[in-house]
Amino acid sequence: MSIQETIKQMAVAAKKASRNMANLSTVAKNNALLKMAEALLAQKPYIQQENEKDLVAGRTKGLSSAMLDRLALTDKVIDSMVGGLREVAALPDPVGEIDEMAKRPSGITVGRMRIPLGVIGMIYESRPNVTVDAAALCLKAGNAIILRGGSEAIHSNLALAKVLQESLAAEQIEAAAVQVIPVTDREAVTAMLALDDQIDLIIPRGGEGLIRFVAENSRIPVLKHYKGVCHVFVDGSADLEMAVNIVMNGKVQRPGVCNALECLLVHKDIAAAFLPKVWSALKGAGVELRGCPQSKAILPEITAALPTDFGMEFLELILAVRVVDDLDAAMAHIIQYGSQHTEVIVTNSYGNGQRFLREVDASAVMINASTRFTDGGQFGLGAEIGISTTKLHAYGPMGLKELTTRKFIVYGEGQVRA
Amino acid sequence: MSIQETIKQMAVAAKKASRNMANLSTVAKNNALLKMAEALLAQKPYIQQENEKDLVAGRTKGLSSAMLDRLALTDKVIDSMVGGLREVAALPDPVGEIDEMAKRPSGITVGRMRIPLGVIGMIYESRPNVTVDAAALCLKAGNAIILRGGSEAIHSNLALAKVLQESLAAEQIEAAAVQVIPVTDREAVTAMLALDDQIDLIIPRGGEGLIRFVAENSRIPVLKHYKGVCHVFVDGSADLEMAVNIVMNGKVQRPGVCNALECLLVHKDIAAAFLPKVWSALKGAGVELRGCPQSKAILPEITAALPTDFGMEFLELILAVRVVDDLDAAMAHIIQYGSQHTEVIVTNSYGNGQRFLREVDASAVMINASTRFTDGGQFGLGAEIGISTTKLHAYGPMGLKELTTRKFIVYGEGQVRA
């Protein structure tokens, strides 16, 4: 059977499973999730033995130690997947929720009922824990999921899927509800992206190259973010100590993630006072600062920024810095270089804060808080399946609700249209 | 300048305009809409003179009288556009609406603010009133719109756009907020569909061929419905007189629209009692009934249905009919042949009604009401820009809110992530 046929068969089975899943009781879904948690613990030796195959292959291939770290299903990683499953079981079930019921002038009563999307296709790299986290969220939202992970994690992903599927069977849920594609070449991705009759939504997670490939080749709607180029603008009225804390947290706490800070904008009125303060803290944490000419005039020892440093997602201990004339100049910089992920103003001006909140076009806009808060858990969504920086369907962190949609329901007593 | 360059320039101007439109006050938008209404009335002679050019060309080309009817900007049609503009001005402004504000354990306050999508691309056929109706809704939701109508209405569309743009200028809104593409060949559509950096959403309205072409060639998200194959299932416990009314209204009131009834499913227990009643009413209205063998056994004079009659969008006075064993058989038929538009059960069984509402996958599911109610106005959305039968972003009739999205907003007092 060709790759195309294999994947088509999997997608047809997923579609069929999804029809039954839409009507599963909350109890059945939660039981399956808790059963999965138990099964991961019980089958830890098997999972780790399969994971070891990936690790051996990875070492032979010469993967970096960071990549091997991300690949390893240590006891701690498995515990965290188990915790994730239990947390998702504890979340409220969005499916079946009814709201906006209202009687219309015609006499009919119209409302909206939340329903699953159907089949979700997940395309991701390295980290095998995505297999479990994504499957849990999709199951809770009543969707089937088809997972296509990276080649370096294939044994781990297939082992995890096997354990999850056994737990589904125990609750009479079809195994096709959670499937890992056993083929890891790019042809498998292309085949998946053509199945718009079976798959309702594609969520890619990984590097910009993978995401662009998916977006450009998909006939299925894609929820994605390419990169997180997050800014902090320190306004003229900012509390400078607060601003230092927010900058440090954004840049240093976890520089490799998409909500890390990449560029600092400083109001010219406070640049001479603020830049030495923040530079002293950043330097202490090993951060390289790349500044515009005005910043360099204040801090001669920092690197001169190249034009490409603005709009750059460094993902390491490097920060671009630019002195701007005012709020409008800061917002113009953000329009030009931002990635619609997270934008922050530090200010004590009510008016400037409100203008920034209203006018900046990003999935998360903040006053006086760290960029690092952009996260499904921190925002109260419970858990996160990804972040969208495009506006259709979802914008920002996506939780269970973003894996559903709403249909209209109508109660009548025989009304017809006049 | 090539077609591609022309359209790219228009889209770049639209994107620029959309940034300012996102921050327009409700008053400014409403004033522009009311000004447009006045201008349509004041410039009626000019509009009708341009429309006459299209009508002359249409008659020469041999367009059907139905098509010429749809093309004509009679006084009545212009009055209806004027009324539409005033209605949209009276609708609440969705932009800036904030909800779900909540304090999180970290101390930050997180909520969601409704914002425009940006630039909408509308691709449509014949009816020039779409130019005005769609522009009004997009403007009210703070979006710029690029309209690409059919060649047969080009003079009318350009004249309408000119009048609308003059009204924008009076309120200091950039003219690029509403643009009609002056090129009507398909190349213009293809060029538009490639501009995913400028256009945020494509809404096609027209025949299935146009919509498929758009869906298959777009790199921009598309909200669409291919067709409306709506069913009424008359359950064993139905009030037969109510069922006759609902069937008649669905099929006869306006057979050419997407929420018209195309297929009747009848529970076997009441088929012998119900079919003669409904056939007598349908026959009186000139409807051709195409029945399954069981229906034909009861009504020998009706046409025998071909397999292709099920799932067919007739859009005329033809109705398919099939006798089914029970609710499950009816729902299985709908899964196989439905188009996720509107599905109705007529029943007196509480359980069957609730199962149908919950389990049938369609954008509108109804108990004891006519399929003809699926409409933005009837559902309380105020006005409708189209109907979506796919689940991402919107499902069912789309009003002002569906032309917006929500961003996360965060109020902090210096919080950082632990």
The percentage of residues in chain B with a pLDDT greater than 90, rounded to a whole number, is 94
What whole-number distance in Å separates Cα of residue B88 and Cα of residue B85?
5
Going B36 to B37 to B43 to B44, the CA torsion angle's sign is positive
The alpha carbon of A211 is separated from its chain's Cα centroid by a whole number of angstroms, namely: 12
Task: Locate the chain B residue with the closest alpha carbon to A363.
Answer: B407
CA dihedral A193, B201, A261, A65 (to 10 degrees): 0
pLDDT at residue A346 is higher than 90:
yes
Q: What is the pLDDT of residues A52-99, one digit of tens each?
A: 999 999 999 999 998 999 999 999 999 999 999 999 999 999 999 999
- Closest partner CB to A410 (pick from B96, B108, B367): B367
User: Which residue's entry shows tokens 């494509």?
Assistant: B202
B221 contact partners, CB below 8 Å, separation of at least 6? A221, A390, A392, B200, B201, B202, B392, B393
Alpha carbon separation from A298 to A247, A272, A287 (Å, rounded): 18, 6, 17
In sequence order, which ranges of B321-390 are alpha helices (DSSP H)?
327-337, 350-359, 376-379
Write down the domain spans for chain B. 3-224+393-411, 230-378
Q: Does A249 touch chain B (CB under 8 A)?
A: yes
Phi-psi region of B382 (alpha: psi -120 to 50; beta: other; left: phi over 0): left
Q: How confident is the model at residue B207 (pLDDT cuts 50, 70, 90)?
A: confident
CA distance B397 to chain A (A): 9
Helix runs in B26-95, H state only = 26-42, 44-61, 65-71, 75-90
Alpha carbons B274 and B233: distance in angstroms, whole number:
12
Chain A residues whose CB is inside 8 A of the B108 CB are 366, 369, 373, 378
Segment A6-26 mean pLDDT: 96
Q: Collect all residues of chain A within an 8 Å Cβ-Cβ radius of residue B248.
A: 416
Instruction: Give SS3 for A107.
Output: coil
Q: Is A416 on the interface with B (CB under 8 A)?
A: yes
The β-bridge relationship of strands A342-346 and A261-267 is: unpaired
State pLDDT tens for residues B88-105.
999 999 999 999 999 999
pLDDT at B1: 83
Q: What phi and psi values does residue B75 have, to the nearest 5 degrees?
A: -55, -40
Q: Please give the average per-residue pLDDT across A306-335, as a whole number.
A: 97
B357 touches chain A (CB under 8 A): yes
Residue of B nearest to A109 (CA): B379
Lowest mean pLDDT among A261-275, A282-296, B58-72, B286-300: B58-72
- Checking DSSP bridges between strand A261-267 and strand B109-116, what pairing results, if any? unpaired
Rounded to the nearest angstrom, the minimum Cα separation between A30 and chain B is: 20
ipTM: 0.95
Rounded CA separation A176/A190 (Å): 20
Mean pLDDT lowest among A62-76, A334-348, B109-123, B132-146 = A62-76
Q: Which residue intervals of A285-379 are DSSP H helices?
A: 293-298, 327-337, 350-359, 376-379
DSSP secondary-structure letter at B93? P
Residue among A408, A411, A413 with most chain B CBs within 10 A, to mutate: A408
Summarised one tens digit per residue, pLDDT across range B219-249 is 899 999 989 999 999 999 999 999 999 999 9
Burial group, residue A156, by CB count within 10 angstroms (0-12, 13-18, 19+) = buried
Please, which residues 31-60 of chain B have a Cβ atom closer than 8 Å to chain A?
Answer: none
Q: Do B108 and A373 touch (CB under 8 A)?
A: yes
Contacts of B372 in chain A (CB under 8 A): 416-417
CB B403 within 8 A of CB B141: yes
Query: Please, which pLDDT band fits residue B108 given cuts at 50, 70 and 90?
Result: very high
pLDDT at A125 over 90: no
Residues A269/A274/A275/A278 CA torsion (nearest 10 deg): -160
Is A391's CB within 8 Å of B110's CB? no
- pLDDT band at residue B314 under the 50/70/90 scheme: very high
CA distance A224 to A389: 6
What is the architecture, at CATH level 2, of domain A3-224?
Answer: 3-Layer(aba) Sandwich (3.40)
Counted across chains A and B, CB pairs separated by less than 8 A come out at: 204
Kindly indicate the confidence band of residue B61, based on its pLDDT and cuts at 50, 70 and 90. Answer: very high
| Per-residue model confidence (pLDDT) at position A365 | 98
Can you tell me the distance from the alpha carbon of B157 to that of B128, in angstroms, rounded to the nearest whole number? Answer: 6
Q: Which of B358, B87, B373 is nearest to A413 (CA)?
A: B373
Please tell me the CATH superfamily of domain B230-378, with its number: Aldehyde Dehydrogenase; Chain A, domain 2 (3.40.309.10)
**Cβ neighbours of A411 (radius 10 Å):** 18
- Among residues B223, B31, B19, the alpha carbon closest in space to that of B119 is found at B19
**Per-residue pLDDT, A382:** 86
- Give B325-352 pLDDT, tens digit per residue: 999 999 999 999 999 999 999 999 999 9
CATH architecture of B3-224+393-411: 3-Layer(aba) Sandwich (3.40)
Mean per-residue pLDDT for B169-198?
93
DSSP B371: G
With contacts defined as CB-CB under 8 Å, which chain A residues touch B414?
239, 242, 245-246, 368-369
Closest by Cα among A264, A222, A256, A208 to A372: A256
Cβ <8 Å between A408 and B397:
yes
Confidence tier at B382 by pLDDT (50, 70, 90)? confident
Cβ separation A409–B378 shorter than 8 A: no
A417–B378 C-beta distance less than 8 A: yes
CA distance B272 to B236: 11
Which among B242, B391, B409 is the nearest to A117, CB-wise?
Answer: B391
The per-residue pLDDT for A208 is 87
Higher pLDDT, A138 or A215: A138
In chain A, the N- to C-terminal Cα span, in Å, equals: 56
Q: Give the model's pLDDT for residue A206.
A: 87
Q: CA B34: distance to chain centroid?
A: 24
Give the whole-angstrom CA distance, residue A290 versus residue A322: 9
Q: What is the per-residue pLDDT for A66?
A: 86
Average pLDDT rounded to a whole number, residues A384-401? 95
Which of B97, B110, B257 to mutate: most A Cβ within 10 Å? B110
A128 DSSP 8-state letter: T
Mutate to test the interface with B, among A365, A373, A398 (most CBs of B within 10 A): A373
CB contact residues (below 8 A), chain B span 108-137, against chain A: 108, 110, 113, 115, 117-118
Is the CB of residue A321 less than 8 Å from the CB of residue A289?
yes
Q: Does B237 touch chain A (CB under 8 A)?
A: no
- What residues of B are in contact with residue A366 (Cβ under 8 Å)? 108, 409-412
Kindly tell me if the per-residue pLDDT of A126 is higher than 80. no
Q: pLDDT grade, residue B66 (50/70/90)?
A: confident
- The 3-state DSSP class for residue B191 equals helix
